[in-house]
Amino acid sequence: METESRPRILFAEDNEDHAYLIQRCLEPIGVQLTHAWDGEGVLRELESWADSGPELILLDINLPRLGGLEVLEKLRADRRWAGTPAVIFSTSRLQADRERAYRAGANSYVAKPASFGEFREVLVRLGMYWTRLNVSLSADSA
């Protein structure tokens, strides 16, 4: 599959093991992955893409330099990315974090499962939904 025609997912993850697992789980579903180590990296990456952004932005809450929720607030304030689906993918199961994420404009909040099998299943379903089933705002109207 050509790189340009594959759906793009931009994900922010500062934990090296989690970043590796995310790549390992999502690459087989045929998406183009771009990894940012921190929140500032997400914003830099989006600027480099100009006006054709990803189909999904996957954010951890606790990122260095600029946290996931702060990134989300900046995305929602920028008309170019305001409609881009953004999912929080975090180890936090705190009600307060979920509430803050949805108030900041998250489309979904997914808690990272502890086992690799569940981690993989959740990511594959999440990736398939947001890149194959969901019809984004930028999709051509038929």
Query: pLDDT tens track of the chain, all 142 residues?
Result: 455 578 999 999 999 999 999 999 999 999 999 999 999 999 999 999 866 789 999 999 999 999 999 999 999 999 999 999 999 999 999 999 999 999 999 999 999 999 999 999 999 999 999 998 887 766 554 4
Which domains, and CATH codes, for the chain?
A: 3-132 (3.40.50.2300)
In angstroms, the CA 34 to CA 11 distance is 6
